[in-house]
Amino acid sequence: MSRQRVIVIGGGVCGLGVGWKLAAAGADVTVFDRGKAGRESTWAAAGMLCPQMELRPQEEDISALGLESMKRWRAFAADLEADSDIPLHYRDEGTLFISADQDAAEQLRFLHDHQIELGMPVEWLSGAEVREREPYISHNVVAGLVCLDDHHIDCRGMTRALAEAFVRRGGDLREDAPVDGVVVDDARLTGVRVNGEVIPADAVVVAAGTWSGMLDGLGGDVKPPVRPVKGQMLMLRQPDERILSHCIWARSSRDFCYMVPKADGTLLIGATVEEVGYNKDVTAGAVLDMLRAAWGVLPSVYDLPIIETWAGLRPASRDGAPVLGATDVDGLFMATGHFRNGILFAPVTAEDVAHAVLTGETTATIAPYGLGRFAA
Ligand SMILES: Cc1cc2nc3c(=O)[nH]c(=O)nc-3n(C[C@H](O)[C@H](O)[C@H](O)COP(=O)(O)OP(=O)(O)OC[C@H]3O[C@@H](n4cnc5c(N)ncnc54)[C@H](O)[C@@H]3O)c2cc1C
């Protein structure tokens, strides 16, 4: 029997993850990226795996998907490191959510109580207990939550690892190769069009991030409703004697930021959430806001050198949840719309979308996230 020929459109965490799993299962896979693989939203991410911190009332379904993906993350990271020989620097000290005034502490109490109701492992900390864990945190901080099960990885290392693992498993990675659109004949996918040429395929996975709805040939009910939500970030360098060891989310009545200390001594501070279309400018106001929020709870950031600033575009679907799996067009699959949590969702996306392509079966985990939910 001939090998199944699959084309993946987009080489971010979604496309490379699905492509890697398909290639490892023996499929003949090509990933096309219109630029360099992994250099869009995936490159911009902080690498946090925080299903518990992200948990909000009304969003329990998305949180359940995040918790399921989180269960798989350690094994996913170990397999990826083994297949690529590139470390992901998985860090499991847990994440602290701290409040810099009484108003924010009340909001935190609400989150804490909601997590307790759902049976999540969460612990309340006084300001002094926060400073026992992180001695450089300001005395303004009055309370905190600790979520030991929320972790983080080196996102850029993960991107390089996915590309390397995909190619080592026999995948064909085509960079600087934009796909114009998909070719559909009588509700059956037949291939993609690249540079005017039709390339035949048995299956196509749309993983083009926030550009997923722009491909030619995706009309009506098979056009994923995704839009860009901009996020700006900063990278600082910590001194040899580190000033922070946990991933921190910090809120005051006026400001919010997160700070993510990486194994190489860099410290990421993020991120804005902006509806400004496809604009990726880094703005003075956003840098000012993020640094003010960080300085308010960790005054020592004042002296740290800024290494890099950037902005990325999160692919957000209409209901904020990812779009995964089969569509009404035979042979056409989706892996897009991952918004704030594409790195967290990487294991379920890679494994369950690859499973759908290979077997035609939709797992119970991704069944609620099909494109069909938008049809009505
Ligand atoms: C500032 C910021 C911080 C974030 N932090 C986190 C975090 O800590 N944890 C977390 O879980 N998530 C985080 N996210 C979200 C996460 O980055 C995204 O959900 C995820 O990267 C989306 O991956 P993707 O593969 O769908 O999209 P992308 O990474 O954008 O990849 C899509 C790819 O498709 C390519 N493409 C587009 N059109 C075409 C075409 N026509 N032909 C060929 N290729 C095409 C693009 O070039 C691109 O490489 C963050 C996002 C931002 C912006």
- The best mutation among 8, 235, 314 to test binding of ligand 1, ranked by most ligand atoms within 8 Å of the C-beta, falls on 314
Q: Is residue 199 part of a domain?
A: yes
φ, ψ for residue 236, nearest 5 deg: -110, 170
Q: Is residue 90 part of a domain?
A: no
CB 98 within 8 A of CB 250: yes
Index of the ligand 1 atom closest to the CA of residue 35: 47
Same domain, 232 and 311: yes
Report the nearest-CA residue for atom 30 of ligand 1. Answer: 41
Report the nearest-CA residue for atom 6 of ligand 1. Answer: 45
Cα separations in angstroms, 361 against 20, 71, 126, 235, 267: 19, 22, 49, 42, 42
Same domain, 73 and 172: yes
Q: Is residue 195 part of a domain?
A: yes
pLDDT digit string (tens) for the chain, length 376 residues: 678 999 999 999 999 999 999 999 999 999 999 999 999 999 999 999 999 887 776 676 778 899 999 999 999 999 999 999 999 999 999 999 999 999 999 999 999 998 898 888 899 999 999 999 999 999 999 999 999 889 999 999 999 999 999 999 999 999 999 999 999 998 899 999 999 999 999 999 999 999 999 999 998 889 999 999 999 999 999 999 999 999 999 999 889 999 999 999 999 999 999 999 999 999 999 999 999 999 999 999 999 999 999 999 999 999 999 999 999 999 999 999 999 999 999 999 999 999 999 999 999 999 999 999 998 6
Task: Work out the angle at residue 173's Cα, subtended by the Cα atoms of residues 155 and 46, and round it to the nearest 5 degrees.
Answer: 10
- Which pLDDT does position 376 carry in this prediction? 62
Same domain, 166 and 313: no
Same domain, 58 and 13: yes
* Ligand 1 centroid, distance to 91 Cα (angstroms): 22
CA 236 to chain centre: 21
Cα separation, 11 vs 26, whole angstroms: 19
Same domain, 68 and 130: no
CB 47 within 8 A of CB 343: yes
Range of the domain at 11: 5-83+155-225+318-374
CB 272 within 8 A of CB 290: yes
Q: Is residue 163 part of a domain?
A: yes
Question: Which amino acid is located at 110 in the chain?
Answer: F
Same domain, 330 and 298: no
Taking CB atoms and a 6 Å cutoff, what residues make up the pocket around ligand 1?
A: 9-15, 32-35, 39-42, 44-48, 178-179, 207-209, 211, 215, 231, 233, 270-271, 312, 314-315, 336, 338-344
Same domain, 135 and 53: no
Q: Is residue 14 part of a domain?
A: yes
Same domain, 236 and 313: yes
CB 134 within 8 A of CB 22: no
The tokens describing 119, both together, are 């049976």
The pTM of this model reads: 0.97
Same domain, 263 and 328: no
- Which pLDDT does position 307 carry in this prediction? 97
Same domain, 11 and 62: yes
Same domain, 192 and 334: yes
Same domain, 52 and 22: yes
CATH number of the CATH domain containing 273: 3.30.9.10
Cα separation, 374 vs 376, whole angstroms: 6
Q: Edge-to-edge, what's the strand order for the sheet holding 197-200?
A: 181-185, 188-194, 197-200
Q: Is residue 302 part of a domain?
A: yes
CATH number of the CATH domain containing 175: 3.50.50.60
Length of the chain: 376
Domain count, the chain: 2
CB 314 within 8 A of CB 344: no
Q: Is residue 308 part of a domain?
A: yes
Pick from 322, 356, 325: which is nearest to 339 by CA?
Answer: 322
CB 333 within 8 A of CB 353: yes
Name every residue whose Cβ is closer than 8 Å to that of residue 186 and which is 6 or more positions away in sequence: none
Pick from 348, 342, 232: which is nearest to 279 by CA?
Answer: 232
Pick from 315, 316, 327: which is nearest to 373 by CA?
Answer: 327
